[in-house]
Each structure stands twice: as structure tokens, then as C-alpha cells.
């Protein structure tokens, strides 16, 4: 049965254990806010000023090799460092808590061609990236002091990407960050209370309903979650219960590459623009503890709201009260289902 919500309501996010306010009637209001610039794919395959292109010098002075596929390196300006200071200053009050933390920040270039994005890469090229993500997760997560490996991509200037070259970041931490920590608690609670996996149950519910599922292949499903906050937010969920990338076999990694290609192409075709987003994978912590509750999934958080130039801002009530969205998850899924999987800007 199809859901029809055309009045204000709130929806529960069981994965984050929080609410989101939905206000569908607000889509009728006139827009007088910021209008951004439409982004089209770059036509420049090599940029001599790009610090990620093959053979170029980076800001820190290192020179990139003439790589022909993927390439990773430790971030020249890392937000986290692997070494702790000798001592941390004592605090005057228990209300002023702080602790030194360790981490390792890397950059992974997807492709030597400066003009590409995941949406315009081939499935085979994306499959190589999936293999690189798996290798990085295993190698970094294998360090005895790393507790979490966060793979993420900021796509487009609208999401703060300072360089359009196809790449992602991998921030690995000696602690469990807030978002995966909250998801750990939620998934653990569900497993304890029901004996079942939270995302296995949720995916079964969504596949039965159908109205928020965008597409599926043999091993992954792409859907607009019931609790979506961003206008065209999407969650990519493995159909088999597995906690992390290394648990997937070759066919499943092929399917992940296929799902990424299909989803990012649909995003670009929605408004015929190089679609901005922040995306990342949530997977099993690497803290050495058993995590049977964890189920691999990816989050896509795109800011575009009405067109290629009108974005959603998280301000006001969202910052002071709770997240709020205007279009329903069902209508967003319907529009993404209707988007073509043949990219509007063919690769030459």
C-alpha cells in the first residue's frame, strides 16, 4: 500500500535513534534564497595546476607518480596524526574534558583523468576503486590502534570539495566517531531485543513496500530511507548480512561497483548536472571486538533541492531543533527511479 503524507509529520530513524520533521506542503512556497551555479563535467583530462593529477607536485612538496589507475597517499595536511603528544594539559573542571587522539588520514585518487567522476567512470574502473577501498580498510584497520576506518567522498564545490579531481578521503581514528557509534548502539540494541539484524529487517520492509526502493541488483539495494533528511538522500545496503568490504566476494564487489555507477548516473541525470554530494560507507569498527550487529551500508547526502542551482541549507530549526525536509522520501525515490541510467554527458 502506498504511503501518502501531505501534512507535517515526523519520522523515526531507528539507525540513528532520532526523529526527522517532514513538511511536504512547503514545496509550494516561492524561493528567494541563494541560487548556485550549475555544474557540468570538466573537459580537462589533465590539469597542470592540480595537485592530484599524475606527475604533479602536491602542496606539501611531494610529487605524484605517473599513476595509471588508483593512487593513495597520506594527506599532506591531515586532520589527525598518528603520534600522540608526550603529555596533555590538565583541565580545571570535569566540564572541560579533552583527550589527545590519534588517527591516519589518506587520500585515494579514483582515476588519473581529471575530468571524470564516479558517474562517468566505467564499471570496471569503479570496481578497481572498490578493490582499493577494501585493501585500505584491511591495511589501516589492521593497525592495533585504529578503531574505525571512515571512507568518504565530498563531491562538488557545493559540498566543500576543494579539488574536482576524482578522489575520496579515508580518515581512520583511534576512537569510534559519533555517527558510527550511534549506529553501533542502535544495531546492537535491535539484535539484543529481536535476535535479528536491524538493517536486514529494514531492507526486507523496504523491499516489501517498494515505494522507496530506487533499484536493486543481485547483491545491493539503493533506496531513499524512510527517515531521509537531505532532499535526495540515498542509502545503499548490502542484501546479504556482511559487516565490511573484505567480507564481500568478487561477485558482490562487482555488484557494488554496478550499484555505484547506476546511482551516481541517476543523480547526475536528475537535474543534468555534475551532482554534488557527500557519501561514505559505514562498516564494522576495527577495534578488535566482535560486531555481529554491524551491516554494511553507504550513505549519500546530496544538497540539491529543486534544481541544479537551488540547494537545501541545514540552518535555523535544523541546527537548533531537529532535522527537517520538504519533499517526502517517497516522492524523491519516484523521481530517482524515473532518472535514466544513461549519462546525459557521454564520456568521449
Q: Would you please indicate which residues are annotated as catalytic (active-site) residues?
A: 167
Task: Determine how β-strand 324-325 pairs with β-strand 18-22.
Answer: parallel
Cell of 294: 554491524
User: What are the residues whose beta carbons fall under 8 Å from the beta carbon of 112, sequence distance 6 or more?
Assistant: 53, 54, 67, 68, 69, 71
C-alpha separations of 295 from 47, 215, 249, 300 in Å: 39, 19, 15, 16
Bridge-partner residues for 13, per DSSP? 18
Q: Judge residue 68's burial from the number of C-beta atoms within 10 Å of its C-beta, 0-12 exposed, 13-18 middle, 19 or more buried.
A: exposed
Contact 87, 97 (CB under 8 A): no
Separation between Cα atoms, residue 284 and residue 137, nearest integer Å: 10
Amino acid at each position: 500500500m502506498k504511503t501518502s503524507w501531505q501534512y507535517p509529520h515526523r519520522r523515526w530513524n531507528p539507525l540513528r535513534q532520532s526523529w526527522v520533521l517532514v513538511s511536504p506542503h512547503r514545496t509550494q512556497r516561492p524561493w528567494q534564497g541563494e541560487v548556485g551555479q550549475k555544474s557540468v563535467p570538466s573537459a580537462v583530462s589533465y590539469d597542470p595546476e592540480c595537485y592530484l593529477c599524475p606527475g604533479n607536485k602536491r602542496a606539501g612538496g611531494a610529487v605524484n607518480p605517473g599513476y595509471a589507475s588508483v593512487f593513495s597517499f597520506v594527506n599532506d595536511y591531515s586532520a589527525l596524526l598518528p603520534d600522540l603528544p608526550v603529555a596533555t594539559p590538565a583541565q580545571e573542571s570535569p566540564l572541560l574534558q579533552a583527550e589527545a587522539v590519534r588517527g591516519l588520514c589518506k587520500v585515494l585518487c579514483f582515476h588519473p583523468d581529471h575530468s571524470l567522476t564516479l558517474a562517468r567512470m566505467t564499471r570496471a574502473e569503479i570496481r578497481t576503486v572498490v578493490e582499493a577501498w577494501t585493501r585500505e580498510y584491511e591495511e589501516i584497520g589492521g593497525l592495533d590502534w585504529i578503531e574505525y576506518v571512515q571512507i568518504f567522498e565530498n563531491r562538488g564545490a557545493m559540498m566543500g570539495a576543494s579539488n574536482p579531481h576524482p578522489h575520496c578521503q579515508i580518515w581512520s581514528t583511534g576512537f569510534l566517531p559519533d555517527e558510527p557509534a550511534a549506529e553501533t548502539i542502535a544495531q546492537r540494541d535491535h539484535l539484543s531485543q529481536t535476535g535479528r539484524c536491524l538493517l536486514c529487517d529494514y531492507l526486507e520492509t523496504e523491499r516489501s513496500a517498494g515505494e522507496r526502493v530506487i533499484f536493486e541488483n543481485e547483491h545491493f539495494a539503493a533506496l531513499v530511507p524512510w527517515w531521509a533528511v537531505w532532499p535526495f538522500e540515498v542509502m545503499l545496503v548490502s542484501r546479504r548480512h556482511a559487516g565490511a568490504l573484505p567480507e564481500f566476494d568478487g561477485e558482490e564487489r562487482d555488484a557494488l561497483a554496478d550499484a555505484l555507477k547506476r546511482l551516481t548516473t541517476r543523480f547526475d541525470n536528475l537535474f543534468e548536472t555534475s551532482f554534488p554530494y557527500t557519501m561514505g560507507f559505514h562498516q564494522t569498527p576495527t577495534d578488535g571486538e566482535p560486531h555481529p550487529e554491524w551491516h554494511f551500508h553507504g550513505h549519500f547526502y546530496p544538497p540539491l533541492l529543486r534544481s541544479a542551482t537551488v540547494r537545501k541549507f541545514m540552518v535555523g530549526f535544523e541546527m537548533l531543533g531537529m532535522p527537517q525536509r520538504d519533499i517526502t522520501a517517497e516522492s524523491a525515490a519516484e523521481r530517482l527511479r524515473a532518472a535514466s541510467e544513461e549519462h546525459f554527458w557521454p564520456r568521449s
